[in-house]
Amino acid sequence: MCDVRVRFAPSPTGDPHVGNIRTALFNYLYARHTGGKFIIRIEDTDQVRLKEGSDQAIFDSLRWLGITWDEGPDIGGPYGPYRQSERLDLYKKHALELVEKGMAYYCFCSAERLENMRKLQEAAKKAPMYDRKCLGLTKEEVEEKIAAGEPYVIRLKVPRDGTTEFDDLIRGRVSFENSVIDDQVLIKSDGFPTYHMACVVDDHYMKISHVIRAEEWISSTPKHIILYEAFGWTPPKFAHAPMVLAPDRSKLSKRHGATGVKEFRELGYLPEALANFLAFLGWAPQDEREIFSLEELAKEFEIERVNKSGAIFDMNKLEWYNGYYIRHIETRDLAQRVLPFLEKAGMQVKFDDYLVNCVALVQERMKTLAEAPELLDFFYELPEYDPELLIPKKSDRETTKLALEKCYQVLKGLEDWSHDPMEEQLRQASTDLGIKSGQLLWPLRAAMTGKSASPGAFEVTLVLGKEEALKRLENAISKLA
RNA sequence: GCCCUCAUCGUCUAGUGGCCUAGGACAUUGCCCUUUCACGGCAAAGGCACGGGUUCAAAUCCCGUUGAGGGUACCA
């Protein structure tokens, strides 16, 4: 039994997509579950789509989520290099070996000819496939063309009969007629390998045991298996995870809103929440638990339990997870995480006990870290507000003014600035005035916060401190004068 | 068009032939808690795509239909 070695092989085209990261997560969890290795390989074979700085964006996103790897371009490993652009010779060498064996061939057809050919085939309602024009070239003709500097690609000669099958760990047996598989380009005219070539060669030399990737790769798998066979290599095991879809069931893309990990980070989602949510997109444990840390996921995750059908990325559920994690992490920790969002909103805030005390009061109301500024701003600066805000629905201006003045007296005389005596005396005060507690507490809360929705009156008053509380009461009373 | 894959509440899912009168979570609605907003508690509504088989028994197995998704590139 061979050791488990799995890999995440993104192409560096920008901020990694949550769908890709879900695939990375599954690989990671499988590796950790089995005690195997998790490898990162950068597939930078498309010089056109390549985006500068993407490697870093990918590493950052994974690290942020808590995903660690055992081998990769940044940390090296025994089977490097882990960047395909640094392995070009290897691919070329193996492609030539296939040509030598008669299993691949040079093709000099122009893009225009290929395009015309496809159009004709489509018009004739036939599957568009390369017509093997260049397969008929003699060795001499090929050499002549190469010598003349004609651009060329190397194509795999796919058998025209028989079937290619594989046992997918998630889907069971999948079978393709070879006759529908095109003669895949292996080496492009710029000398770079195609995905199919590079991925097979690398997975072999990096001793990858399981290829866990998204469903969109199912129809490429037979091409890969044919390649493994051509080289005389044993293919790895395959597992094709379901797609991550948008609410309209199409592929999740930018027009549906946030799709990149970095975006979710900036939107104020916690890595714990995103990871937990993503793990549940296409996978679920046997029992009914919903909350899992990465460690717990690694313990429970089984590739055989991954679902077959596409999963819609439901923002509502993500938000719920996020709120849950916000409520359950340490308050000091939350305060720490909230700080950059407050600074970004232009608030003059530093990390201190006051901040922690404030955060404690909004912790169970916060769904994303990005909401922190609007939830906390009044603790630092009382916002402008309409005097009408002070007056509860079931009260009037006079009563409210009286209530506020009473609050002022009570708070001013309150020696023990703590919750229970404050509550006791304020409730007593409303009784004394012959009004309902709401007729006194709403105005107090509104005076303290300048908001219609906020944490409770006692809690806020307590945190603001006597001096500030009295100041805000004076301000409120003058508004009603 | 051709090939492949998939199909349980609106969404994520549990379910591997009898424990299913189909369970949970999110979202929705109502009630409770309550000074507001949240949180929390309780409750309601809501689903096995359709049609045939197989079987004493089917959400579960088989076939077909329909629908959805993916692939069909010198992109990955």
User: A209 with A36: CB under 8 angstroms?
Assistant: yes
Please tell me whether residues A120 and A158 are part of one structural domain. yes
Q: Which of A22-36, A226-240, A242-256 has the lowest mean pLDDT?
A: A242-256
Q: Which of A101, A254, A394, A471 is catalytic?
A: A254
Burial class (CB in 10 A: 0-12, 13-18, 19+), A331: middle
- Is the minimum distance from the CB of A267 to strand B below 7 Å? no
Please tell me whether residues A96 and A211 are part of one structural domain. yes
Please tell me whether residues A102 and A225 are part of one structural domain. yes
Q: Does A58 map to a domain?
A: yes
- Is the minimum distance from the CB of A166 to strand B below 7 Å? no
Mean pLDDT confidence for A212-224 = 97
What is the pLDDT at residue A325? 98
Q: Does A322 map to a domain?
A: no
Residue A1 has pLDDT above 70, yes or no: no
Please tell me whether residues A219 and A289 are part of one structural domain. no
- Is the minimum distance from the CB of A442 to strand B below 7 Å? yes
Nucleotide nearest to A365 (CA to C1'): B38
Task: Provide, in whole angstroms, the distance separating residue A365's CA from nucleotide B31's C1'.
Answer: 22
- Is the minimum distance from the CB of A14 to strand B below 7 Å? no
Q: Does A234 map to a domain?
A: yes
Please tell me whether residues A248 and A230 are part of one structural domain. no
Mean pLDDT confidence for A363-378 = 97
Number of separate domains in chain A: 4
Residue A122 has pLDDT above 90, yes or no: no
Q: CA separation (Å) from A11 to A40, A54, A221, A302, A468? A: 11, 8, 18, 26, 55
Query: Tokens 């708070």 identify what position?
Result: A411
CATH no. for residue A471? 1.10.10.350
Q: Which of A319-328, A358-367, A392-401 has the lowest mean pLDDT?
A: A392-401
Q: Does A366 map to a domain?
A: yes
Task: Provide, in whole angstroms, the distance separating residue A211's CA from nucleotide B3's C1'.
Answer: 22
Distant-in-sequence, close-in-space partners of A122: CB < 8 Å, separation ≥ 6 = A128
- Checking ipTM against 0.85, whether it exceeds it is yes
Distant-in-sequence, close-in-space partners of A234: CB < 8 Å, separation ≥ 6 = A228
For the stretch A162-175, what's the b/e string if a residue is b when 16 or more beta carbons lie within 10 angstroms of its beta carbon? eebebebbbbeebe
CATH no. for residue A349? 1.10.8.70
Residues 294-353 of A with CB under 7 A from strand B: 305, 307-312, 314, 316-317, 319-320, 323-324, 327
Please tell me whether residues A410 and A399 are part of one structural domain. yes
When the pLDDT of each residue in chain A is averaged and rounded to a whole number, the result is 95
Residue A124 has pLDDT above 90, yes or no: no
Q: Does A281 map to a domain?
A: yes
The reported pTM is: 0.95
User: A50 with A192: CB under 8 angstroms?
Assistant: no
Mean pLDDT confidence for A314-342 = 97
Q: Does A78 map to a domain?
A: no
> Percent of chain A beyond pLDDT 70?
100
Half-sphere exposure at residue A377, Cβ-oriented, CA atoms within 13 angstroms: 16
A18 token code pair: 């949550």
Please tell me whether residues A375 and A348 are part of one structural domain. yes
pLDDT for A48-65, tens place per residue? 899 999 999 999 999 999
Under DSSP, is residue A105 helix (H, G, I), strand (E, B) or coil? strand
| Last residue in a domain, options A241, A263, A283 | A241
What is the C-alpha separation between A97 and A282, in angstroms, rounded? 40
Q: Does A82 map to a domain?
A: no
- Phi and psi for A368 in degrees, rounded to 5? -140, 155
In one letter, which amino acid is A18? V
Please tell me whether residues A275 and A233 are part of one structural domain. no
Q: Does A348 map to a domain?
A: yes
In one letter, which amino acid is A193? P
Mean pLDDT confidence for A15-33 = 96
| Last residue in a domain, options A178, A212, A241 | A241
Task: Provide, in whole angstroms, the distance separating residue A289's CA from nucleotide B48's C1'.
Answer: 23
pLDDT for A413-457, tens place per residue? 999 999 999 999 999 999 999 999 999 999 999 999 999 999 999
- Is the minimum distance from the CB of A215 to strand B below 7 Å? yes
Domain extent for A47 = 5-73+244-312
Predicted confidence band at A258 (pLDDT cuts at 50, 70, 90)?
Answer: confident
Residue A371 has pLDDT above 60, yes or no: yes
Task: Provide, in whole angstroms, the distance separating residue A209's CA from nucleotide B44's C1'.
Answer: 50
Residue A8 has pLDDT above 80, yes or no: yes
- Is the minimum distance from the CB of A450 to strand B below 7 Å? no
Nucleotide nearest to A180 (CA to C1'): B3
Nucleotide nearest to A290 (CA to C1'): B25
Under DSSP, is residue A160 helix (H, G, I), strand (E, B) or coil? coil
Q: How far apart are the first and last CA of chain A?
A: 84
What beta strand segments (E) does A102-214 contain? 104-107, 153-156, 163-168, 172-177, 185-187, 210-214
Q: Which nucleotides of B are covered by protein (CB under 7 A)?
A: 1-8, 10-16, 23-27, 34-40, 68-76
Under DSSP, is residue A220 helix (H, G, I), strand (E, B) or coil? helix
Predicted confidence band at A252 (pLDDT cuts at 50, 70, 90)?
Answer: confident
- Is the minimum distance from the CB of A397 to strand B below 7 Å? no
What is the pLDDT at residue A45? 94
Strand A311-312, strand A185-187: pairing: unpaired
Please tell me whether residues A212 and A276 are part of one structural domain. no
CATH no. for residue A52? 3.40.50.620
| Last residue in a domain, options A223, A241, A259 | A241
Residue A2 has pLDDT above 70, yes or no: no
Nearest Cα to Cα of residue A45 among A200, A153, A201, A192? A192
Residue A227 has pLDDT above 70, yes or no: yes
Q: CA separation (Å) from A387 to A34, A443, A477? A: 63, 10, 9
Q: Would you call A254 a catalytic residue per the annotation?
A: yes
Residues 60-99 of A with CB under 7 A from strand B: none
Please tell me whether residues A223 and A278 are part of one structural domain. no
Please tell me whether residues A228 and A97 are part of one structural domain. yes
- Is the minimum distance from the CB of A178 to strand B below 7 Å? no
Please tell me whether residues A166 and A287 are part of one structural domain. no
Nucleotide nearest to A42 (CA to C1'): B76
Task: Provide, in whole angstroms, the distance separating residue A317's CA from nucleotide B26's C1'.
Answer: 5
